[in-house]
Structure 1
């Protein structure tokens, strides 16, 4: 059973609900990096990921009265960001259909690996993996990113996505098999 005091952010959530911007900033600052990484993995675009996270945090601020002081903020923020990513992916799909999109940053990768040869090989491999993940249906991509890349349990992912653990297990299995099949051919 959960009781008062179970959530270490309880006081900050209460202050943020009351309109304290500093408390809200403090509340979300330790989540921002993780949310940005999640959005980048979902969208394959660092700039779009930044926009999604900023929009999500602004939305949470505007609807701060919905925050529950008894619940951790992380899962709530993750759900908001995932929903914004889904919206962005739907818009991208429509734009692609009508030929109105460009893949300006589809394959950008951080270049912090040592040596130019290792960097080139790693970048190419990462681009291939990112491109393959980007081609997956959103349901498979979400499950794969949450469980495999973010390290969440299947139960957490199921809770965040509003489905069962078995569905998450199946989606992750299918996503991994897609990647495996794709890269066995290379």
Structure 2
């Protein structure tokens, strides 16, 4: 990215953090087509993809204080969108496991707006996951956050932490397993 683009994005992020809704629209607009294409590939459903992207952008807006003016916003938007897609895929898997038929999925998918129960459940689930991530040992947490949340490559994370790529891979594997176990039993 050019300096001017970085400066403009940094200015937009500062405005967004101050509550500038128009600045937020200008910040995410260039990324929206790419995010929507990614969600469509992940979910294979245009309506679910649109909802996942909308939920991701709403989440970014709600947590706008986490935006970092020194970093490109594209990676953060991508990670958030992927997380929303993963949430939808987990819900599908749970519905399938519980024996809900195909017809029920179509009825659920036809309503594109989340209800208050879904919103509350999503917030509770987010808080629960965030709490479990905070309980991870620091070495596992930092590897997971750098790669899975910040969107860095394993090589970049290894360089930042001064360890090998294999160490990062192992730490991420262990962090995910611990999260999976703790979230299944809590």
TM (norm. structure 1) is: 0.54
Give the 3-state SS of the residue equivalent to 1:160 in structure 2.
coil
Confirm whether residue 67 of structure 1 aligns to residue 67 of structure 2. yes
Confirm whether residue 98 of structure 1 aligns to residue 83 of structure 2. no
Aligned to 2:87: 87
Which 5+ residue runs of structure 1 have no aligned equivalent?
105-155, 168-186
Alpha-carbon distance change, 25 to 41 in structure 1, aligned in 2, over 3 angstroms: same
Structure 1 runs, 4 residues or longer, greater than 2 Å off: 5-8, 101-104, 159-167
Separation (CA, whole Å) in 2 of partners of 1:94 and 1:57: 25
Alpha-carbon distance change, 62 to 34 in structure 1, aligned in 2, over 3 angstroms: same
Alpha-carbon distance change, 98 to 29 in structure 1, aligned in 2, over 3 angstroms: same
Separation (CA, whole Å) in 2 of partners of 1:92 and 1:22: 34
Q: Deviations over 1:77-108 (max 9, x none)?
A: 0000011111111111010111215264xxxx
Give the 3-state SS of the residue equivalent to 1:9 in structure 2.
helix
Which 5+ residue runs of structure 2 have no aligned equivalent?
107-146, 157-164, 167-186
Separation (CA, whole Å) in 1 of partners of 2:42 and 2:152: 14
Aligned to 1:46: 46
Aligned to 1:160: 151
Q: How far 1:163 moved relative to its partner?
A: 4.0
Separation (CA, whole Å) in 2 of partners of 1:16 and 1:40: 27
Separation (CA, whole Å) in 2 of partners of 1:74 and 1:7: 15
Q: Which has the higher contact order (CA 8 A, sep 6+)?
A: 1
Confirm whether residue 20 of structure 1 aligns to residue 20 of structure 2. yes
Alpha-carbon distance change, 16 to 64 in structure 1, aligned in 2, over 3 angstroms: same
Q: Which has the higher helix share?
A: 2
Coordinate RMSD, CA, aligned: 3.1
TM (norm. structure 2) is: 0.54
Separation (CA, whole Å) in 1 of partners of 2:55 and 2:25: 14
Contact preservation (8 Å) 2:6, 2:72:
no
Separation (CA, whole Å) in 2 of partners of 1:87 and 1:163: 23
Separation (CA, whole Å) in 2 of partners of 1:79 and 1:162: 12
Separation (CA, whole Å) in 1 of partners of 2:151 and 2:20: 27
Q: Deviations over 1:60-88 (max 9, x none)?
A: 00110000011111000000001111111
Q: What is the aligned length? A: 114
Q: How far 1:8 moved relative to its partner?
A: 3.9
